[in-house]
Homo-oligomer: A and B are copies of this chain.
Amino acid sequence: MAAVAAEAGVAKATAARTLGNYGAVSPEARARVLEAAARLRYRPNSLARSMTTGVTHTIGVVVADIGNPFFAGVLRGIADACDATDYTVIVMSADESIAKESSAIGVLMDKQVDGIVLASAAWRPDQTAHIQEAMSREIPIVLVDRIVPGLELDAVVIDNRQSARDAVRRFVAVGHRRIAFVWGPSAPERPLERERLLSVTDTWLWSSAERLRGYFDALDEAGIVFDPLLVSNCRLNEAATVDSVRAMLALPDPPTAVLTTETTATVGVLRATRDSRFAYPGDISVIGFDDSSWASVMEPPLTMIAQPMRELGRVAAELAFARIGGDRGDAAVETLPATFNSRASVTAPRPQVSLSDDDGR
């Protein structure tokens, strides 16, 4: 700005008033400043400006995994809300790592975002120092997809427990009793008995734990005794899922239905089903989180639980805008409904599943 003032032959204050659009400037001085600014390719430094005004009109988003289509949908919703309000979004991925998440929050504070939308990998209080640091600086933070226990923050989530319960009820309604849950928590020991499983899930991502609780709810109300062999404890990737599900299908009493909690889990179950020469859906019914366009062109098309990804993002951004605008009300959790896209992957179990020939591969 000093260079523009010198080029225009006016005082710095005059250049500042002209370029900042405030105060009185003579038409002639104004024209000289604008010409000089154009000649010098002047670009207002929004950081310097934000140091004065304290507002950057930018929100930061930290997602757990930028490669997950679920978060791509959430980001789309955040972008929609920002487009409508003239905010810009900058996005960082934490790859499900607390250390990277902490670093990302630090960068966003340095870049002076006005607010942060966060899908956190944290699940216990001693992992939240970075979040509390941002809170102590009064940077509005809204959680999305995942509640972090112990933090008084706005959050936008779906009712994971009820969605999982409803899915299992659909299996029960057509006669299934051997119902598997993929992905359970990764654990070196296995199988995990119910009590141990629930204590593991206390230290687990809120959304995943809620889905497992919904599975238990539906088993309990149907009087089905929980079989720990039907919850996967594998690592959360496709290859490990295939191995884990193949082991379930090799049981003397294999599952006839599977609830999957992620797209990769669904793909792993379908591959294991084929590898084990089980028929889909004749031998194995499937319902999964989250819906995708592929699921609807599978043969037969998959019944899926569709999370309102875009809506989750939009509402989270709007809560952040309200906080940036000065809303000091109590932290609130907004729960959005998921929807079932019923297709053709749930059939009644065969009267007797008997595979004397377990060909393994």
Q: Residues of A with Cβ closer than 8 Å to B?
A: 41, 43, 45-47, 58, 66-69, 72-73, 75-76, 79, 88-93, 95, 103-104, 106-107, 109-112, 133, 136, 238, 263-264, 267, 270-271, 274, 292-299
Contact = CB atoms under 8 A, between A and B. Distances in A.
Copies in the complex: 2
18 contacts: A46-B107, A47-B110, A66-B75, A66-B79, A75-B93, A79-B93, A88-B92, A89-B93, A90-B90, A90-B92, A91-B91, A111-B111, A263-B293, A264-B293, A267-B296, A271-B296, A294-B295, A298-B298
Contacts of A298: 294, 297-299
Nearest to A89: B92
Contacts of A106: 43
B47 A238 contact: no
A230 B226 CA distance: 55
Contact of A293 (B73, B238, B299): B238
Given A91-B91, A270-B297, A297-B270, A72 B67 contact: yes
A207 to B, nearest CB: 20
Nearest to A133: B41
Contacts of A112: 47
Contacts of A299: 298-299
A293 B241 CA distance: 13
Contacts of A103: 88
A294 B133 CA distance: 41
A297 B90 contact: no
Contacts of A69: 67, 69, 72
B67 A88 contact: no
A47 B107 CA distance: 10
A131 B238 CA distance: 40
A109 B293 contact: no
A270 B270 CA distance: 19
B104 A88 contact: yes
A292 B267 CA distance: 10
Contacts of A292: 294
Given A47-B111, A292-B294, A67 B73 contact: yes
Nearest to A108: B90
A67 B76 contact: yes
Nearest to A103: B88
